[in-house]
Amino acid sequence: MSELKVSSDTSAFEVPAALDEKGKLAEHCVRNALTMMDTYGLVVLTGLLSDEEADAGLELMQQTIDDPDRARSSFASETDNSYLRRDFCSLPATPAVTGFAATLAQRLEGVI
């Protein structure tokens, strides 16, 4: 799997999170996010995590990417891993990853 080309550049999928006076995602932000989902099947809402939290998430992905045997890659299919067909880094269900996922869910719960 060492030939797998990986980029952490998500700029093509990003929509800055904009909140309204109630602390929820503003209507224009929701429209932009839905357009991104319809266009690419993915949206990355930026600005919901602190820099420290975002760096922690990136580190979790880097640890998985740096695993030459992809032993930490628990969600990808064996076929995808064998043929290097990975558009996104699949993360293992470790306490660190599930904790990070919980943080993401809590942030989203507060704004949607």
What pLDDT shows up at residue 74?
54
Q: How many structural domains comprise the chain? A: 2
From first to last of the 112 residues of the chain, give the pLDDT tens digit: 566 666 768 898 999 999 999 999 999 999 999 999 898 888 999 999 999 998 998 898 888 777 766 665 555 556 555 655 555 556 777 898 899 999 999 988 989 8
Query: Is residue 79 domain-shared with residue 69, that is, in the same domain?
Result: yes
Is residue 91 within 8 A of residue 56, CB to CB? The reply is no
Answer yes or no: is 36 within a domain.
Answer: yes
Cα–Cα distance between 111 and 80 in angstroms, integer? 34
Query: Is residue 60 domain-shared with residue 30, that is, in the same domain?
Result: no
Three-class DSSP labels, the chain: CCCCCCCCCCHHHEEECCECCCCCECHHHHHHHHHHHHHHCCCEEECCCCHHHHHHHHHHHHHHHCCCCCCCCCCCCHHHHHCCCCCCCCCCCCHHHHHHHHHHHHHHHHHC
Cα–Cα distance between 21 and 12 in angstroms, integer? 28
Query: Is residue 17 domain-shared with residue 65, that is, in the same domain?
Result: no
Nearest of 47, 37, 48 to residue 13 by alpha carbon: 37
- Assign residue 92 a region (left: φ > 0; alpha: ψ between -120 and 50; beta: otherwise): beta
What pLDDT shows up at residue 46?
94
Answer yes or no: is 3 within a domain.
Answer: no
